[in-house]
Amino acid sequence: MMPDCPVCQHRATTELLVLQNVPVHSVRLATSAEAANAIPTGEIQLLACEHCNMAWNGAFDPKLVHYDGNYEETQAYSPRFQVFQQQFAAQLVKTFQLEGKTVLEIGCGKGEFLEALLDAGAAQVIGFDPSFDPTRARSDARMTVYAELYPPSRNVELTLPGIDFYVCKMTLEHVFQPRAFLTQLRTAIGNHDCLVAIQVPALERILSTTAYWDIYYEHCNYFSADALAKLFAVCGFAVIESETIFDDQYLNVVARPVDVEQDKSPCTPLPFAAFKHKLHTELAAWRERLQPAGTRQTLLIWGAASKAVALLSALPELKTGTTLVDINPHKHGTYLPATELVIHDPQQLRDRRFEVILVANPIYLDEVTTMLRKLGIQGEIIALN
- 235 near Zn ion (CB under 5 A): no
CA distances from 282 to 30, 74, 213, 306, 380 (A): 30, 28, 11, 18, 20
Q: Which of 22, 36, 48, 54 binds Zn ion (CB under 5 A)?
A: 54
Bridge partners (DSSP) of residue 353 are 378
Q: Which is nearer to Zn ion, 12 or 108 (CB)?
A: 12
Smallest gap from Cβ 227 to Zn ion, in A, equals 7
Smallest gap from Cβ 204 to Zn ion, in A, equals 15
Q: How many chain residues are in contact with Zn ion, going by CB under 5 A?
A: 7
Q: Which is nearer to Zn ion, 5 or 196 (CB)?
A: 5
Nearest to 17 by CA among 174, 205, 214: 214
What are the residues whose beta carbons fall under 8 Å from the beta carbon of 213, sequence distance 6 or more?
306, 307, 308, 310, 311, 314, 360, 384
Q: Which of 8, 48, 167, 234 binds Zn ion (CB under 5 A)?
A: 8
- 51 near Zn ion (CB under 5 A): yes
Smallest gap from Cβ 59 to Zn ion, in A, equals 17
Only one of the segments 50-58, 168-176, 195-203, 266-274 lies at the binding site for Zn ion (rule: CB under 5 A); that segment is 50-58
- 48 near Zn ion (CB under 5 A): no
Only one of the segments 45-53, 184-192, 200-208, 353-361 lies at the binding site for Zn ion (rule: CB under 5 A); that segment is 45-53
Q: Which of 19, 36, 49, 234 binds Zn ion (CB under 5 A)?
A: 49
Only one of the segments 49-57, 138-146, 183-191, 215-223 lies at the binding site for Zn ion (rule: CB under 5 A); that segment is 49-57
Q: Which of 16, 52, 239, 324 binds Zn ion (CB under 5 A)?
A: 52
- 225 near Zn ion (CB under 5 A): no
- 47 near Zn ion (CB under 5 A): no
Smallest gap from Cβ 6 to Zn ion, in A, equals 8
Smallest gap from Cβ 262 to Zn ion, in A, equals 16
CA distances from 137 to 62, 72, 134, 331 (A): 28, 14, 5, 18
Q: Footprint of Zn ion on residues 113-152 (CB under 5 A)?
A: none
- 16 near Zn ion (CB under 5 A): no
- 7 near Zn ion (CB under 5 A): yes
- In the complex, the residues that contact Zn ion under the rule CB under 5 A are 5, 7-8, 49, 51-52, 54
